[in-house]
């Protein structure tokens, strides 16, 4: 599980930067034959749980950072074919 953190008040592109890291990691994992899922929900326990402080300590969460993106990488039980590109959703100018 990747917990991709961003600096609190790290600027308007901080979340995008997390997404860029996430997407590159997805591509790298896929090229290595590993399954992966982008998951925002993994951030929930670090925001809403009664055990936030305990969890953050366990994960060595640095001061001044907050959750940005989450990613699961592992050996997939089964694979699915990539989606077909729906060209009707593309606008070419």
b/e for 51-74, b at 16 or more Cβ within 10 A? eeeeebeeeebeeebebbbbbebe
CB-nearest residue to ligand FMN: 41
Least Å distance between CB 45 and ligand FMN? 12
Beta-strand relationship, 35-38 and 2-7: unpaired
Q: Find where tokens 């995008």 sit.
A: 16
Which one, 3 or 38, has the nearer CB to ligand FMN? 38
Binding mask 35-74 for ligand FMN (x = CB under 6 A): --xxxxx---------------------------------
Binding site for ligand FMN (CB under 6 A): 37-41, 83
């Amino acid at each position: 599980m990747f917990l991709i953190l961003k600096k609190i008040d790290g600027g308007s592109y901080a979340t995008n930067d997390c997404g860029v890291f996430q997407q590159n990691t997805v591509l790298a994992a896929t090229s290595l034959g590993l399954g992966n899922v982008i998951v925002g929900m993994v951030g929930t326990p670090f925001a809403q749980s009664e055990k936030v402080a305990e969890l953050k300590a366990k994960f060595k969460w640095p001061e001044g950072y907050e959750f940005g993106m989450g990613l699961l990488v592992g050996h997939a039980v089964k694979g699915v074919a990539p989606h077909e590109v729906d060209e009707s959703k593309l606008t070419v100018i």
